[in-house]
Amino acid sequence: MATKPLPIKEKEKESQLYQASQWQLIWWRFRKHRVAAVSGVIIIFLYVIAAFVEVIAPYDPSAFSPLYAYVPPQQVRVIDSEGNFRAPFVYGLARSRDPETARITYEPDTSNIMPLKFLVRGDEYKFWGLFKGDWHLFGIDAGPRDRVFIWGADRLGRDLFSRLVYATRVSLSIGLLGVIFSFVFGIIIGGISGYYGGWIDNVIQRLIDFIRSIPTIPLWMGLAAALPVEWPPTRVYFLITLILSIIGWTGLARVVRGRFLALREEDFVTAARFVGAGEGRIIFRHMLPSFSSHIIAALTLAIPDMILAETSLSFLGLGLRSPVNSWGVLLQEAQNLSSVALAPWLLIPGVAVVVTILAFNFLGDGLRDAADPYGD
C-alpha cells in the first residue's frame, strides 16, 4: 500500500479524546478559546482584589479632606526633574487659586518628592469587619497631611482609588449573590415547569411572560424607592439584591425549563424509569448532569446583567447609598456635566464596570461554546 500511515502521535491524541470525561472535554475546549480564558483570569483577579480590599486600598474610603477636593490623578514617576533615576515616587502638590475662575488648581511640586513604599502601615481597618489591621499594599511614607491620589480625588477630597477598590467588593458580590438568588428561584420554578409540563408549565410560562413584559427599570425603581431611607445599609443591600433577582430569575428559569422539556423525551430518562428509579433520582442523577454545563454558562452570563442593574439603580440614587460604596454610587458623582468636565477621572469607575461586564460576557460565551456537545 502506498498510503502513508497516520503518525503515532495523532493516534494517541485520538484515543485520549475518546476516553476523556465530559468535564475534561469541556475544559480542553475552553482552554482553546483564548479570549474566554483571559477573561477568566481577569475575573479571578478582580475577585481577589475584592477579597483583600482593606489591604489594597491605601486609605479609608470615607476619609475626606476639603484640602484635596478634585485633585487630579498623580503620576507615578521614576525620573525626577533633573533626569535622575529613582525608586518610584510622586510629587507633592502645590495648591493655587486660578485668578480667573476662582477654582483651586494643583500643580506637582518638584521640590517635594514622596517615594512610594510597599507594605506600609496606614489607616486602621477591620478586615471583613472582623480582624483589626493596618498593613496596606502601598502608600507614601510621609507626613500625615500628605496623600497620594493615584486616580485622583472626588468632590470631598476622598481618594478615588480607595473608594473604587472598596466598591469592587460590593458590586462584585451583589452580582454573585443576586445570581445565586435568581438561580435558586429559576431552577426550582423552571425545573418544575419543564419536568411536569402540562398545565403547570402553561401557568408558569404565562407568569414568566407577564414579568418579562414589564419594563424592568421602572419596576426596580418603584420597588427600590419603596425601601425606607432609614434602613441600615446592610439591610438595604440585601433587599436590593432580592429585588434584582425577583425580576432576573425568569431568564434562568427559561433555560432550565427548555432543557428539562428536551431531556424529558430522551430515551435514557425512559430507561431510568423502567428500571424503577424514583423521580428525584432521575432528576438529580440522570438529567441534571446533562445540562449543568449549560446552567453554569447561563449563570456566568447573568452576572453582568445583575451588576449592571445595581450600577444603574445606584447611579440614579435609588439603590445603594453612601456610606456603602458601589460602582454605581461612585458614578453618581459623575452624573452631571459640570462635575465630569471638571474632573473626568470620576468616570474611571465606568471603566471598571465595562471591563467587568466584558470579561463576564466573554467568559460566559466561552463556557457556553465549550459546553455545547455539538461544538468542535
Indicate whether 350 belongs to the interface with another protein (CB under 8 A). Answer: yes
Residue 58 or 304 with smaller CB distance to another protein: 304
Q: What stretch of H or E contains 119?
A: strand 104-127
The verdict on 166 binding another protein (CB under 8 A) reads no
Measured distance CA(232)–CA(212) in Å, rounded:
31
Asked if residue 212 binds another protein (CB under 8 A), the reply is yes
- Compute the least distance from the CB of residue 90 to another protein, in Å: 25
Min dist CB 237 to another protein, Å, is 19
Distance CA 70, CA 185 (A): 44
Tell me if 115 sits within 8 A of 86, measured CB to CB: yes
- Applying CB under 8 A, which part among 115-123, 164-172, 235-243, 346-354 lies near another protein? 346-354
* 312 is an interface residue for another protein by CB under 8 A: yes
Q: Give 359's contacts (C-beta < 8 A, 6+ positions apart).
A: 39, 42, 43, 46
119: left (phi over 0), alpha (psi -120 to 50) or beta: left
Among 87, 102, 275, 341, binds another protein (CB under 8 A): 341
Contacts of 188 (CB under 8 A, 6+ apart): none
Query: If we measure between CA atoms, which residue out of 162, 164, 157, 168 comes closest to residue 348?
Result: 164
Q: Which residues contact 32 (CB under 8 A, 6 or more apart)?
A: 376
DSSP 219-249: HHHHHHHTS-TTS-HHHHHHHHHHHHHHHHH
Q: Which stretch binds another protein (CB under 8 A): 127-135, 162-170, 202-210, 287-295?
A: 202-210
Q: What residues from 1 to 20 belong to the interface with another protein (CB under 8 A)?
A: 1-4
Q: Is 217 in the site for another protein (CB under 8 A)?
A: yes
CB of 355 to another protein, least distance (A): 8
Size of the site for another protein (CB under 8 A): 46
Give the shortest CB-93-to-another protein separation in angstroms: 23
Instruction: Give the residues lining the site for another protein (CB under 8 A).
Output: 1-4, 206, 209-210, 212-219, 221-226, 228, 304, 308, 311-312, 315-318, 331, 334-335, 337, 340-341, 344, 347, 350, 353-355, 357-358, 361-362
